[in-house]
Structure formats: structure tokens, C-alpha cells
């Protein structure tokens, strides 16, 4: 089969490093009967060892040429191939609890990560290769420079851990940035449950509208200072000083307030 030319528009940086591939599969710990979904199998670097471990592997791939290669691969009988854009894929169409894995195309990683929250109840765990800088933002502790909207919205659903640092030379072609593998495990209400998820999401978006301004300023149309203080928020703090728990509590408190004043 002729050599595949990597397509930039699909974020194709193929993993070459055997040791890293082994480390990823070891971290995923696939069991024979697990429902495993791989996003962007590409030329099969992670697909092959995964297929060897499980009964069946779902793969989601947008590149038609790659789909054609997968269809003529020796392990095709164990694959369920979903051709198309993962941003439009309905993960609920694969029933039951699942493990999701992928060396993700970096250009779509943030919108993709935002989509997983709604499926959290049906996810066992997820392991993703991402731009290191994105992983740092995902796992960032409250009060640090990297902490922002992405941290709050993902920490609301998942416990996350950076597992492996991966240098550019591990890929072909080599990306311009460092990469890292992150593990995401649904955390069941540990930081509280937002009564109205859409309200919570909108509140967090507004809170981080201008990072350098205080929470009092960013939320001036949403909450008066005494309301912020009710949930332990100092109105003079910047948005990165406020924990995911406090954002959840504030959202719930504001809704309670609204319903009382109706
Ligand atoms: N898993 C392979 C590896 O580790 O070598 C390939 C990883 S490469 C970084 C990303 C893969 O995702 C490519 O196969 C690419 O074609 C695919 N891809 C890119 N955008 C996609 C999308 N929107 N939906 C589904 N697959 C996509």
C-alpha cells in the first residue's frame, strides 16, 4: 500500500515511539470485554495493540484514505469503523460504559473536550494525547496561572491527571509543541452538582470574560457582592482564585435567589 501523506488539516502527527505507545496502552489497561473507542486511529499506532487486547474496538476517523486503509488492515474483523467527524459523533449511540482513547488532533481538542461532560455517566475513563499546554490548563489548581474556564468546566465532570510527557520527536511529522497524555475519570458529584448546568456553564464563561478584572467586575450583571460573599467568594478576587466548588455553589445560590424573588 502506498505511503500515506500526513494531512495538516486533520492534525495528523503519527506516533512513532514504541515506548510511549506501550506506556499509553499500559495506562489504558484494556480488558477483553471492555467497550473501547479510539478517536482518530490514523495509521494504527495505538489501534494495533488495543485490538490485540480487546474483543472489539470502535474507531472514529474522518480521513477517507485512512478509513480505506483500516478496511484492508489484517485486524478489520475486530473493528467497528465510524467514518466522520468526532465533533458530530453521538457517543451515546455506543451503549454501555466505555473507555475512550485517542492521540487527538490538536486543532479540535478543546471543543471536543467540552463535549464529553454530557456523556460522563457512561464513561469509565479516557486517555488522551494532547498539547501539553492544554493538559496543564485542564489539571490546573485553583489560583494558578493555568487555571481558567477549561479547568473549571472539565474538573466539574472529571478527575484528571497528567501521566506521560511526550516530546515532539515521538511523532512523524514532529509537531511544533510538546505533548502529554492525560487520564480523565468521571468524578461523581465530588465538587457538587449544578442544579442547572447551562446556567453554571454561562456563569463560568462570564466569570472568566476578563481574567485581569475582579469577580465583582466580571459578574456585575449577575451577582451583588453580598451574594458572592454568601458562598465564600471575595468580590475583590480575580476569577482564577475561585474554586470549581464555589462556581457550582454560586450558580445554585443565584438560581435559588431568582426563584425566591419570582
Ligand atoms: N492515532 C494515530 C497515532 O497516534 O499515530 C493518529 C493520531 S493523529 C494526531 C489524529 C487522527 O485523528 C488522524 O488520524 C486524523 O485523520 C484524525 N482526525 C482528525 N480530525 C478528526 C475529526 N474531526 N474526527 C475524527 N477524526 C479526526
What's the gap in Å between 103 CA and the centre of ligand 1?
7
* Residue 173: cis peptide before it, omega within 30 degrees of 0: yes
Reported confidence tier of residue 1, pLDDT bands at 50, 70, 90? confident
Calculate mean pLDDT across residues 172-200: 94
Q: Give the predicted TM-score (pTM) of the model.
A: 0.95
Q: In the prediction, which pLDDT does 149 show? A: 97
Q: Look up residue 237 and give its DSSP letter.
A: S
What's the gap in Å between 249 CA and the centre of ligand 1?
38
19 and 111 share one domain:
yes
Q: Return the closest-CA partner of residue 129 out of 27, 35, 60, 55.
A: 27
- Cα–Cα distance, 216 to 229 (Å, whole number): 11
- Cα–Cα distance, 39 to 232 (Å, whole number): 41
Pairing state between β 98-103 and 171-172: unpaired
What's the gap in Å between 128 CA and the centre of ligand 1?
12
Residue 258 in this model has a pLDDT that exceeds 80:
no
Q: In the prediction, which pLDDT does 260 show? A: 73
The residue behind cell 481538542 is: 109
215 and 104 share one domain:
no
152 and 219 share one domain:
no
Query: Is residue 1 one of the residues assigned to a domain?
Result: no
Cβ-contact 230, 220 below 8 angstroms: no
65 and 138 share one domain:
yes
Q: Look up residue 7 and give its DSSP letter.
A: P
241: containing domain: 197-261
Q: How many Å is the maximal CA-CA distance in the chain? A: 69
pLDDT tens digit sequence for 117-128: 989 999 999 999
> Residue 247: phi, psi to the nearest 5?
-65, -40
Q: In the prediction, which pLDDT does 133 show? A: 97
Residue 57 in this model has a pLDDT that exceeds 70:
yes
* Residue at which a domain ends, from 186, 209, 226: 186
Calculate mean pLDDT across residues 129-150: 98
Angle (CA) 127-129-134 rounded to 5° is 105
Reported confidence tier of residue 2, pLDDT bands at 50, 70, 90? confident
- Cα–Cα distance, 76 to 19 (Å, whole number): 25
Residue 262 in this model has a pLDDT that exceeds 70:
no
Query: Is residue 251 one of the residues assigned to a domain?
Result: yes
Mean pLDDT for the chain overall: 96
Query: Is residue 164 one of the residues assigned to a domain?
Result: yes
Q: In the prediction, which pLDDT does 188 show? A: 81
Calculate mean pLDDT across residues 151-172: 98
Pocket (CB within 6 angstroms of ligand 1): 10-15, 40-43, 45-46, 60-63, 66, 85-87, 103, 105, 108
For 235, the enclosing helix (H) or strand (E) is none
181 and 201 share one domain:
no
Cβ-contact 98, 75 below 8 angstroms: no
Query: Is residue 247 one of the residues assigned to a domain?
Result: yes
* Cell representation of residue 254: 443565584
Residue among 13, 105, 109 to mutate when testing ligand 1 (max atoms within 8 A of CB): 105
166 and 249 share one domain:
no
Calculate mean pLDDT across residues 108-122: 94
212 and 102 share one domain:
no
Residues ≥6 apart with Cβ < 8 Å to 229: 235
| Strand order through the sheet with 79-83 | 79-83, 57-61, 35-39, 98-103, 123-131, 179-186, 158-166
Give the residue whose CA is nearest to atom 17 of ligand 1: 40
Residue among 6, 7, 8, 10 to mutate when testing ligand 1 (max atoms within 8 A of CB): 10
Q: How many angstroms from the chain centroid is the CA of residue 45?
A: 21
DSSP per position, 175-208 = PSS-EEEEEEEE--STT---SSHHHHHHHHHHHT
Domains in the chain, number? 2
182 and 208 share one domain:
no
Give the residue whose CA is nearest to atom 7 of ligand 1: 103
Q: In the prediction, which pLDDT does 227 show? A: 95
Q: In the prediction, which pLDDT does 257 show? A: 75
Give the CATH number, domain containing residue 255. Answer: 1.10.8.100
218 and 151 share one domain:
no
Rounded to 10 degrees, the C-alpha dihedral 37/33/135/218 comes to 80
pLDDT tens digit sequence for 61-105: 999 999 999 999 999 999 999 999 999 999 999 999 999 999 999
Query: Is residue 170 one of the residues assigned to a domain?
Result: yes
What percentage of the chain exceeds 90 in pLDDT?
A: 94
Give the CATH number, domain containing residue 104. Answer: 3.40.50.150
Query: Is residue 3 one of the residues assigned to a domain?
Result: no
What percentage of the chain exceeds 70 in pLDDT?
A: 99
122 and 239 share one domain:
no
- Cα–Cα distance, 46 to 103 (Å, whole number): 8
> Residue 54: phi, psi to the nearest 5?
-120, 165
171 and 209 share one domain:
no
pLDDT tens digit sequence for 207-245: 999 999 999 999 999 999 999 999 999 999 999 999 999
* Residue at which a domain ends, from 186, 205, 220: 186
208 and 114 share one domain:
no
Amino acid at each position: 500500500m502506498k505511503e500515506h501523506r500526513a494531512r495538516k488539516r486533520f492534525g495528523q502527527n503519527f506516533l512513532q515511539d514504541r515506548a510511549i505507545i506501550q506506556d499509553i496502552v499500559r495506562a489504558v489497561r484494556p480488558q477483553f470485554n471492555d467497550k473501547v473507542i479510539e478517536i482518530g486511529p490514523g495509521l494504527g499506532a495505538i489501534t494495533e495493540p488495543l485490538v490485540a487486547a480487546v474483543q472489539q474496538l470502535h474507531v472514529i476517523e474522518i480521513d477517507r484514505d485512512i478509513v480505506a486503509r483500516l478496511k484492508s488492515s489484517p485486524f478489520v474483523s475486530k473493528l467497528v469503523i465510524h467514518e466522520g467527524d468526532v465533533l458530530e459523533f453521538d457517543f451515546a449511540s455506543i451503549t454501555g460504559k466505555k473507555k475512550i482513547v485517542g492521540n487527538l488532533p490538536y486543532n479540535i481538542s478543546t471543543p471536543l473536550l467540552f463535549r464529553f461532560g454530557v456523556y460522563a455517566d457512561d464513561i469509565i475513563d479516557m486517555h488522551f494525547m494532547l498539547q501539553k499546554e492544554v493538559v496543564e490548563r485542564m489539571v490546573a489548581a485553583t489560583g494558578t496561572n493555568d487555571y481558567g474556564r477549561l479547568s473549571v468546566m472539565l474538573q466539574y465532570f472529571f478527575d484528571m491527571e497528567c501521566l506521560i510527557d511526550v516530546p515532539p520527536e515521538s511523532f512523524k511529522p514532529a509537531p511544533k509543541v510538546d505533548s502529554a497524555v492525560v487520564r480523565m475519570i468521571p468524578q461523581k458529584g465530588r465538587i457538587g452538582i449544578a442544579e442547572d448546568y447551562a446556567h453554571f456553564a454561562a456563569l463560568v464563561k462570564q466569570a472568566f470574560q476578563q481574567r485581569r478584572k475582579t469577580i465583582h467586575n466580571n459578574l456585575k450583571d449577575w451577582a451583588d457582592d453580598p451574594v458572592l460573599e454568601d458562598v465564600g467568594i471575595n468580590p475583590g478576587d480575580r476569577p482564577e482564585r475561585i474554586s470549581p466548588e464555589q462556581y457550582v455553589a454560586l450558580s445554585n445560590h443565584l438560581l435559588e435567589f431568582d426563584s425566591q424573588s419570582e
